[in-house]
Structures are given as structure tokens and as C-alpha cells.
Amino acid sequence: MKKRIALVTGGTGGIGTAVCRHLHDQGRRVIAGYSRGGDKSFALAWQTSQQEQGYDFEIVYGDVTNYQSCATMLDEIGTQYGAVDILVNNAGITRDSTFRKMSPEQWHEVIKVNLDSLYNVTQHVINGMIERGFGRIINISSINGQKGQFGQANYSAAKAGMHGFTKALAQEVAAKGITVNTVSPGYVATEMVSKMPPGALEKIVAQIPLGRLAEPREVGHVVAFLAAEESSYITGANIAINGGQHMF
């Protein structure tokens, strides 16, 4: 059987890299979407370093906040590699601030990258998935979309919104062989978490029953599980990977 094609937005980041690797190990042809303000050199260096470690990934530029840029990205993927069967909406940012100090820019940037992106990217793959009768859409949300987080009104709103999107779209495409699910990691050992203010992270780790951060591969594993052909009866779910920090 022809390898299924997987697109991972934010594929060169901490969680993104682990997701790409797990999908590769599952036998998928993996394309990492990147933006970084159009800085291709970072993505190329990432691609080379992955190749040296035995992972062959394609890279493609796409600004997930821009509908037209996403249309171009999906056209390019379609022409060069084929139609996307597995989409992992993973691109995300933080702009933490207490709400009373939060600027309109901090609010809008986070909503655009973390939430508008779901529309901008998914819109260009959904009809093809419906026509082919197969699709896996996995949205990377966060524990903080489930429980809220002091200093993250923007991020918590966007991440909670992602799961609303998951549940609505899951209903619309369930009969077409497409599953749509959310994964909600807790605090993962990535660059994003390492940038938290000194002291804040220690306080959070103290609240985690497992007593440590998640490893990116622990998230990649769950994404690959949801992407598997056999995971065909799981849809509209939200799988928490948070070391027990939030149980509900």
C-alpha cells in the first residue's frame, strides 16, 4: 500500500519533532510545516539533523495564520507528494500575561496561531479526505485549555476552542472515514516551557503527581496511536497526557 502522507504543522518544534518521528516510525511519509517568519535556514538545518539520525522528512513553508498561505502550502504538498491523509494541527505559541495587562496584540496573536490555524489548514484538506473516505485529524491542545491557567486567558481560550472545533468537525465527517481528535499535553520539556519565568515552572512541577515534565516522545506516541488505521472508532475524544496534573 502507498505510504499515507502526514502533515505536521509546527513540525520542527519540540512536540512537532517527536510527532514527526513517531509518524515516520509508523510508516508514514511525513511533511513538517514551518513558519518562523519564513526563515528556511532553521528548517533546513532541522531537516539535515533529522536525516543524520535516520529520519527522512520533507519541509514546507506555511503561515498558519494566513488562509492563502495555507492554500499555497497544501497545493505545493499536493503537487510534490500527494494528498494529505493525516493532519496534525500542532503549531502553537504563548504570549503569557495577566488579563488586565494583556495587549490586543498578545490576545490576537495567540488566537490566530493556535485557533484560526485550525480553519486555515483543515479547510484545505477536508474535501480530499471526504472524497477518499479516509482521514485522521489530530489537534494538539493543552491541559490549560481544560483547566485554565493564571496568566493565559488568551492561550486557555484558544486551546479550549480547539476541542470545540474537534467535536463539531468529528460529527460532520464521522460517516466519511475521518476521525478528529484532540490531544491535551500537560507541561512538556520543550523550548516553550523552558521560557517560563524562573520559579513558575518549579511551582507547577510540584503539582504534578508524576513529579516531572512530560517528554515530547510521550506526546508523539499518543498522536501516532490516534493516526493508526486501527484507531478508526475513536473520534471527538480529548486525550490528556499530563502526568496526573488535572484529572476529571
Q: How far is CA 125 from CA 84, 88, 134, 215, in A?
A: 7, 11, 11, 30
Alpha helices, H only, the chain:
14-25, 40-52, 67-80, 104-111, 117-122, 126-132, 143-147, 153-173, 191-194, 200-205, 216-227
- Sole binder of ligand CAA in the list 12, 26, 90, 94 (CB under 6 A): 94
Binding mask 51-90 toward ligand CAA (x if CB under 6 A, else -) reads: ----------------------------------------
Stretch that binds ligand CAA, among 30-38, 81-89, 121-129, 187-195 (CB under 6 A): 187-195
Total residues interacting with ligand CAA, rule: CB under 6 A: 19
- Minimum CB separation of residue 199 from ligand CAA in Å reads 8
Residue showing the smallest CB distance to ligand CAA in the complex: 151
Please identify, using beta-carbon distances, which residue of 176 and 221 lies nearer to ligand CAA. Answer: 221
CB of 56 to ligand CAA, least distance (A): 29
Chain positions 139 to 158 lying near ligand CAA, rule: CB under 6 A, are: 142-144, 149-152, 155
132 in Cβ contact with 179 (< 8 Å): no
Question: Annotated catalytic residue: which of 34, 55, 61, 155?
Answer: 155
**CA–CA separation, 187 and 143 (whole Å):** 8
Does residue number 200 form part of the binding site for ligand CAA (CB under 6 A)? yes
Closer Cβ to ligand CAA, 2 or 203, answer by number = 203
Please list, in sequence order, all residues whose beta carbon lies within 8 angstroms of the beta carbon of residue 206, skipping any fewer than 6 positions away.
none
CB atoms within 10 A of CB 231: 16
Tell which one of 41, 53, 101, 202 touches ligand CAA (CB under 6 A): 101
Of 49, 98, 103, 194, the residue at the interface with ligand CAA (CB under 6 A) is: 98
187 is catalytic: no
For helices 104-111 and 153-173, the axis angle rounded to 10 degrees is 30
Taking a C-beta distance cutoff of 8 angstroms, is the pair 73, 33 a contact? yes
Q: State how far the Cα of 167 lies from the Cα of 169, in Å rounded to an integer.
A: 6
* Alpha carbon of residue 36 to chain centroid: 15
Give the binding site for ligand CAA (CB under 6 A).
94, 96-98, 101, 142-144, 149-152, 155, 187, 192-193, 196-197, 200
Active site residues: 155
